[in-house]
Chains A and B, each alone.
Chain A
């Protein structure tokens, strides 16, 4: 089997055993990228020499006897929202075109320390605002299952790269579903760790209280291995949790749900607005869990219905402030600086030219929601909803160990279909948003193909704050049972590129 079809764990083991070098593995993936990128367009920035340089350095470290982790030498696609000192970082925005950060994000640094080799920076919705990657200021990314469809978003470049075998692993960030939804629609695994479980330092902020870095992989164990690499307390991020990292790898190796109590979120299983094929696969998977020895109960979380509107007040409010720093003064795009215009005019012209329509929409929404006289009715009220949702989660986790739902109401939609309909686009995150508002852990694992379109469906498994290991335990059990039923991974059913 060619190197690109191998799992990250397998590649790591082969490299550690000296059966293959990090350079050879990187070259195999760079070659694959050269082959399929014209169709998939998952990457914004690829620099073969920089990547091979990293791979050579890892080989040298290994030869020198340095003890590196299980992913040393394994290539990874890195979402272009994490700063990298040796590659440009743009957040897929024109306002940062060509910007080369002078520093590495904590996630980037930890990848390097563990010996992962960065293949390039992946495409995303501008500043991670979107669910299709169509909001990238550079180009759309195509779903490897069907090139006319979106790969999800905002981390669509990462999900597409992994699903297209361009990389065995990828990083993402999840603010409202930006890891789980793309993983779901591309038939791979995507995990949103507990908020604060992975550092935001060097992650270009969209909504500070929601943004969470997390892993993409083609299987549950690889995702856990990657999460373990970049998790853990970071003194540079005040909101990072100073507690032991949940033992996710251990959990991923021991998929077992016997005796576990699993709650089906009643409001999300009712299927309003959801695709029939998505619900069918979801219901079958719930039955599967029962057959594996789990006790399944229905749990009602009525406030989850208010999660979407609350999110669309909180996230834009925070982004309206976070994106104020893009003012043409210190870095990035500068427009209209002709020597006559004032700083204020240059700022305004730059922001008008540098931000795309969705970013502007959210900045305006947020500016409005925070305005004096409206704050209590909008931002203040949304924070109250957030508290109510937290209480519902808490109550639910008294009854059950994890909650499950479909990851997203539909399979991958065609490129362009929702581009002019923000509300339809926002609905893609209906089931994922509650976990962002409360900070709890949630994963998406493939659970089959929808009958009507033959496209992947994801199962979302939600666990309490710092209960990340439960996501992996249940996810691994589902993966094991389904893959034995399918005779391999779901991705093997994808049409060849």
Chain B
């Protein structure tokens, strides 16, 4: 592997203009596979969800999954696409051990959905991404190459294949080339994939987990010198497995290509592999000699001809789409654009909405998800949604605070306990003994002790310097190890010292 040079981003952008293209694969969450009745459960023992059809045994035939076709049309409609009135599946022929038939049933020049767009917001600006096509195909099996340096088939000692994934319905969403994003290219790419993911979620067609591969993104980047209108040679970066990586892959590829071009070099049209650890890409398969897939219409399947009336029904039945929903929630929650964007960027909107749905006031829900929980997620490097806590549990914590049973400090401890696997909020409160001290006698005794030990401060307060009461309250909180109700303690101290505000 050669070490490649990169040009600093600002310099690269000063000299070149990027053109993006994004190909996104979404595994549909159908109960059965695309062309057979096998289950699609993620993580099942290898080669247990297979049958003659998805193993390509001689004589077996595909039968199209109607739900997958419906989901694809709904995706197309959500992306403002036209829906084909008649189209066919096609065979894409190439040999690879994880593809049982040695052809993939896909679509070629007759995609199910075409000519759409998706508006995304970046830095308060709306960028329209044109969608070229949305088509339906089947996933391949999963190869694991054991031994060898690169984890790829060449040089491996041996390879093993799990065909559970073979035949899972896959939707490919391809953008038209996206020029004019300028220095925002990485953010636009990320915003697009984020938005796409939210649309899939709201449609309920996929669990879109990038880390499990149910949403996979290939990032195409090319550069053209400032002032030129002729697009450069593009590369296709694969293996981009998180939203953050989408952004990094675009940035890294711009920097890499700029360095080559500035040096008088030539960009090789190729597939590149993104490396999560370094944020760089390495060269993969060259595409200069385009592989000939010998596409032809799949003779084992009949054409797909969706009834326009049915398509209209599907369109009418689409759920509220994420952008519309965000505008509505922003108004309902009374948030500024900035706050809303921050929540969006943190992927917190659905969580807050669910927490509100579980009974929490919006401001409280937002406070916890965007504050303590966001900090925790950040520290441990997991997505907010993947924290081991449910919106209902967060709602319960806000309820305990509102009822006076917890203060914020104790609430943070409860959250810590839930995240640590100690159980539901009430269990954590119970186990850790985190109830606020409500016993007036106990509190009164604690205050007397604190006043006795801080005679100076007590005197100051008595003489009218009410601000000095803070130190006394602090003493009580310390003595109670945070379990005292600070407001009540303050009240009692002032009473005891005969001072009124």
Taken residue by residue from 94 to 111, chain B's Cβ proximity to chain A (1 for < 8 Å, 0 otherwise) reads as 010100111100000000
For A344, the chain B residues whose CB sits under 8 A away are 95
Interface residues of A (CB under 8 A from B): 82-83, 89, 91, 96, 99, 101-103, 105, 200-205, 207-209, 235-239, 317-318, 320-321, 324-327, 329-331, 342-344, 347, 367, 370-372, 375, 379
Number of interface residues of B (CB under 8 A): 32
List 28 interface pairs A-B (beta carbons < 8 Å), by A numbering. Answer: A89-B59, A101-B58, A103-B60, A203-B59, A205-B59, A205-B300, A208-B299, A208-B300, A236-B63, A320-B93, A321-B91, A321-B296, A324-B101, A324-B103, A325-B56, A325-B58, A325-B101, A327-B97, A329-B97, A329-B100, A331-B57, A343-B159, A347-B95, A371-B292, A371-B294, A372-B292, A375-B294, A375-B296
Extra contacts, 11 of them, besides A205-B58, A320-B294, A344-B95 (Cβ < 8 A), are A83-B58, A96-B58, A102-B57, A105-B59, A201-B61, A203-B59, A238-B62, A321-B103, A342-B154, A371-B294, A375-B296
Chain B residues in 8 Å Cβ range of A237: 61, 63
Would B52 and A103 count as touching, CB distance under 8 A?
yes
B122 contacts the other chain (CB 8 A): no
Option from B58, B161, B299 in Cβ contact (under 8 Å) with A99: B58
Interface residues as binary, B178-206 with A (CB distance below 8 Å gives 1, 0 otherwise):
00000000000000000000000000000
- Say what secondary structure dominates the interface of chain A: loop
CB pair A103 B57 closer than 8 Å: yes
Which residues of B lie under 8 Å from residue A324 when comparing CB positions?
Answer: 93, 95, 101-103
Render B281-303 as a binary contact track against A, CB cut-off 8 A, 1 for contact. Answer: 00000000010101110011110
**B68 at interface (Cβ–Cβ under 8 A)?**
no
Q: Please measure, in the bound complex, the distance between the C-alpha atom of A379 and the C-alpha atom of B63, giving whole angstroms.
A: 24
B302 partner, pick from A239, A342, A371, beta carbons under 8 A? A239
Minimum CB distance partner of B161 in chain A: A329
| Residues of B near any A CB (own CB < 8 A) | 52, 55-64, 91, 93, 95, 97, 100-103, 153-154, 159, 161, 290, 292, 294-296, 299-302
Closest residue of chain A to B58 (Cβ to Cβ) is A204
Within 8 Å CB of A326, what residues of B? 58
3 tightest Cβ-Cβ pairs between the two chains A and B: A324-B102, A208-B299, A370-B294
Contact B60 A202 (CB under 8 A): yes
Do A367 and B294 touch across chains, with their CB atoms under 8 A apart?
yes
Beta-carbon contact of B61 and A317 below 8 Å: no
A236–B61 touching, CB < 8 Å: yes
Q: How far is the CA of A318 from the CA of B91 in the complex (A)?
A: 10
Q: Output the least CB separation between B101 and chain A (Å).
A: 5
* A171, chain B: closest CB distance, angstroms: 13
User: Which residue of B52, B100, B161, B294 has the most chain A CB atoms within 10 A of its CB atom?
Assistant: B294
The CA-CA distance from A203 to B58 in the complex, in Å, is 8
Enumerate chain B residues within 8 angstroms of A103, measured Cβ to Cβ: 52, 57, 60
> In the assembly, what is the distance between CA of A238 and CA of B297, in Å?
14
On whether the beta carbons of A318 and B299 are closer than 8 Å, the reply is: yes
Closest-by-CB residue of B relative to A332 is B58
Please give me the residue from chain A that is nearest to B53 by CB atom.
A236
Give, as a whole number of angstroms, the nearest-CB distance from B356 to chain A: 46
Q: Is the CB of B97 within 8 A of A343?
A: yes
CB–CB B294/A372 < 8 A: yes
| B93 contacts across to A, CB distance below 8 A | 320-321, 324, 370
Give the docked Cα–Cα distance between A208 and B52 (Å): 17
In the complex, how many angstroms separate the beta carbon of A437 from the nearest chain B beta carbon?
13
Given contact pairs A239-B302, A327-B97, A375-B296, A343 touches B59 in the complex (Cβ within 8 A): no
- A200 CA to B61 CA in the complex, in Å? 8
**CA A205 – CA B290 in complex, angstroms?**
29
By a CB distance below 8 angstroms, the chain B residues around A372 are 290, 292, 294
CB distance from B148 to the nearest CB of A (A): 11
In whole angstroms, how far apart are the Cα atoms of A235 and B66 in the complex? 13
Of B56, B59, B93, B292, the most chain A CB neighbours within 10 A belong to B59
How many angstroms from the CA of A318 to the CA of B292 in the assembled complex? 16
The 8 Å CB contact of A238, one of B59, B154, B292, B300, is B300
C-alpha gap A15/B55 in the complex (Å): 41
Chain A residue at smallest Cβ distance from B153? A343
Task: Give every chain B residue within 8 A of A347 (Cβ-Cβ).
Answer: 95
Is there contact, CB below 8 Å, between A204 and B56? no
Which of B58, B101, B300, B301 has the most chain A CB atoms inside 10 A of its CB?
A: B58
Bound-state CA distance A324–B301 (Å) is 18
Give chain A nearest CB distance to B295 CB in angstroms.
8
Across the two chains, which residue of chain A brings its CB closest to B55?
A: A330
With both chains docked as a complex, state the minimum distance between the C-beta of B294 and any C-beta of chain A, in angstroms.
4
Which residues does chain B contribute within 8 Å of A375, judged by CB atoms?
Answer: 294, 296
Asked if A317 contacts B59 (CB within 8 A), the reply is no
A residues in contact with B59, CB < 8 Å:
82-83, 89, 101, 105, 201-205
Contact B63 A235 (CB under 8 A): yes
Contact of A330 among B100, B296, B302 (CB under 8 A): B100
Q: B63 contacts which chain A residues (CB < 8 A)? A: 235-238
Are A239 and B296 within 8 A (Cβ)?
no
- Tell me which of B52, B95, B292, B294 contacts A327 (CB under 8 A): B95
B56 CB contacts on chain A under 8 angstroms: 325, 330
Q: Which residue of A lies closest to B154 (CB)?
A: A342
Contacts of B159 in A (CB 8 A): 343
Please give, as numbers and ranges, the residues of chain B lying within 8 Å of A379 by CB-CB distance: 296
In the complex, which residue of chain B has the Cβ closest to the Cβ of A330? B55
- Complex formed: what's the CA distance from A237 to B300 in Å? 8
A residues within 8 A CB of B52? 101-103
**CB-nearest residue of chain B relative to A328?**
B97
Which residue of B91, B290, B300 has the most chain A CB atoms within 10 A of its CB atom?
B300
**Chain B's nearest CB lies how many Å from the CB of A267?**
27
- In the bound complex, how far is the Cα of B91 from the Cα of A347, in angstroms? 20
> Which chain B positions have C-beta within 8 A of A327?
95, 97, 102
Q: Which residues of A contact B102 (CB under 8 A)?
A: 324-325, 327
Which residues on A sit within 8 Å (CB–CB) of B296? 317-318, 321, 370, 375, 379
Report the separation of the CA atoms of residues A177 and B161 in the bound assembly, to the nearest whole angstrom.
Answer: 40
Q: In whole angstroms, how far apart are the Cα atoms of A329 and B101 in the complex? A: 11
Q: Which chain A residues lie closer than 8 Å to B300 at the CB level?
A: 205, 208, 238-239
Complex-state Cα separation, A207 to B161, whole angstroms: 28
Closest residue of A by beta carbon distance from B91: A321
B57 contacts across to A, CB distance below 8 A: 83, 101-103, 330-331
Shortest distance from the beta carbon of B352 to any chain A beta carbon, whole Å: 46
Give Cα A370 to B92, complex, Å.
11
For residue B294, which residue of chain A has the nearest CB? A370
CA distance A387 to B425 in the complex (A): 71
Query: In the complex, what distance in Å separates the CA atom of A226 from the CA atom of B302?
Result: 27
> In the assembled complex, which residues on chain A have CB atoms less than 8 Å from the CB atom of B294?
320-321, 367, 370-372, 375
Chain B residue with minimal CB distance to A327?
B102
Q: How far is the CA of A208 from the CA of B300 in the complex (A)?
A: 6
Task: Provide the bound-state CA to CA distance between A404 and B59, in Å.
Answer: 33
CB neighbours of B161 from chain A (8 A):
329
CA distance A459 to B300 in the complex (A): 31
Give A82 to B60 CA distance when docked, in angstroms: 11
Please report the C-alpha to C-alpha distance between residue A375 and residue B93 in the assembled complex, in whole angstroms. 14
Nearest CB of A to B146, in Å: 13
Q: How far is the CB of A124 from chain B (nearest CB, A)?
A: 14
Least Cβ–Cβ distance between A384 and chain B, in angstroms:
14
Closest to B93 in A: A321
Are B58 and A209 in touch, CB under 8 angstroms? no
- Give the shortest distance, in Å, between A364 (CB) and chain B (any CB): 12
Q: Give Cα A105 to B61, complex, Å.
A: 10
Docked complex Cα distance between A344 and B98 (Å): 12
Residues of B within 8 A of A318 (CB): 296, 299
* A201 and B60 contact, CB distance less than 8 A: yes
Contacts of A208 in B (CB 8 A): 299-300
The closest CB in chain B to the CB of A372 belongs to: B292
Evaluate contact between A325 and B299: CB separation under 8 angstroms: no
- Chain A, Cβ-Cβ closest to B94: A324
Complex alpha-carbon distance, A325 and B296, angstroms: 17
CA distance A89 to B60 in the complex (A): 13
Residue of chain A at shortest CB distance from B103: A321
B100 CB contacts on chain A under 8 angstroms: 325, 329-330
Contacts of B153 in A (CB 8 A): 342-343
